[in-house]
Amino acid sequence: MAKRFGILTSGGDCPGLNAVIRGAVLKGETVYGHEFVGFKDGWYGLVYGDIMELDRTHVRGLSNQGGTILGTSRFGPYTEPDGGPENIKKVLKNLEIDGVIAIGGDGTASAAKRLHGDGINIVGVPKTIDNDIDATDYTFGFNTAVEIATEAIDRLRTTGNSHKRCMVLEVMGRHAGWIALHSGIAGGAHAILIPEQPESLNQICAWVTSVRNRGRAPMVVVAEGFKLPDMKEEYSVKGLDGFNRPRLGGIGEVLAPLIEERTGIETRATVLGHIQRGGVPTAWDRVLATRMGMAVADLVAEGGWGQMVALHGTEINRITFDEAVGKLKQVPQDQYQEIRVIFG
Ligand code: F6P
């Protein structure tokens, strides 16, 4: 019998969300004869029953579009006065929706896990540019962010070389250094600074100075979550986000004058910011996102509530919310040490 499922995207957007939506709708309609709707603006649309139709005409040509046609927000399903499972059950019943597909990061998966425990039919798709969800080898969006950051490094190098300056590029990633590590390796950075590995200012300046002494312009990539050894917390001066987490960003601007003062090398910082989350997804991310969307259409068709799809090697597998939630994937020491030997 044909069923009706609702899709939502929650948390920070990321390139590939639309390709997931398209993959799910196309497979769900074509193979199973199911119908889909989209909840607008993340959990908000589910709590308040704010939906849009999603049939194949709505997802036409969508896999190359950045952002999410559904909108997103950092809004929790339990935090609003109208939120909570009993209200959500009523909304789903009124709208004749049999189950929910929640596309999001760790916060979204935690909320989905709780809703599932409270009797809601729900499954998940992991997403984040940070690539920090342990349960999946890669998340879509990460590859696009790395490409954008790598291009930024390439561009900063030419201007840095011309002026013989040290260039510092700050990239996103929260508590994980994956974007910094991958873009830094790809762009041939002279130092890569990540949250998992404190490095002293002395060490950073030694790398910068040795690069300058070879007649080159130093290129430093720093993740927004990087801490100097004397910092207790990540650098954050922008308050909290909608999930009450400190908004990170600005460590690059802190480091640049310190490097300049210590080394005497003119230094400039660039904070890449949301540019690395915007625009078209890479082909790699489109493929992963489409495959995840199709796999989640299978999952809801089989009533596999309480599970998420995940990439393991080249396979799309299923894992439970219990297996997925709360496990941060950070850069292992050995992967950092492998590249650290050629810094400077
Ligand atoms: O989790 C994705 C991410 O882009 C982080 O890398 C970054 O710290 C955060 O979201 C920024 O969030 P916002 O869009 O709320 O500023």
- Classify domain 143-277 at the CATH superfamily level: Phosphofructokinase domain (3.40.50.460)
Residue of 130, 132, 154, 322 marked active site: 130
What's the CA angle centered on 34, arms 123 and 306, to 5 degrees? 15
Pick the CATH number of 4-140+281-323 from 3.40.50.450, 3.30.365.10, 3.40.50.300, 3.40.50.720: 3.40.50.450
Instruction: Clarify whether 130 is annotated catalytic.
Output: yes
Instruction: Give the pTM.
Output: 0.97
Per residue in 131-162, is it b (16+ CB within 10 Å) or e — as a string?
Answer: bbbbbbebbbbbbbbbbbbbbbbeebbeebee
Q: Report the atom number in ligand 1 closest to the C-alpha of 129.
A: 2
End-to-end CA distance of the chain: give it in Å, rounded. 63
**CA 201 to centroid of chain Cα atoms:** 29
174 known ligand binder? yes
Location of each CATH 3.40.50.450 domain in the chain: 4-140+281-323
Which of 9, 72, 129, 175 most suits a substitution to test ligand 1, by most atoms within 8 Å of the C-beta?
129
Residues of the chain with confidence (pLDDT) below 70: none
Q: What is the pLDDT of residues 140-196, one digit of tens each?
A: 999 999 999 999 999 999 999 999 999 999 999 999 999 999 999 999 999 999 999
Location of each CATH 3.40.50.460 domain in the chain: 143-277
Q: What is the pLDDT of residues 235-245, one digit of tens each?
A: 999 999 877 88
242 touches ligand 1 (CB under 6 Å): no
Q: What is the pLDDT of residues 190-227, one digit of tens each?
A: 999 999 999 999 999 999 999 999 999 999 999 999 99
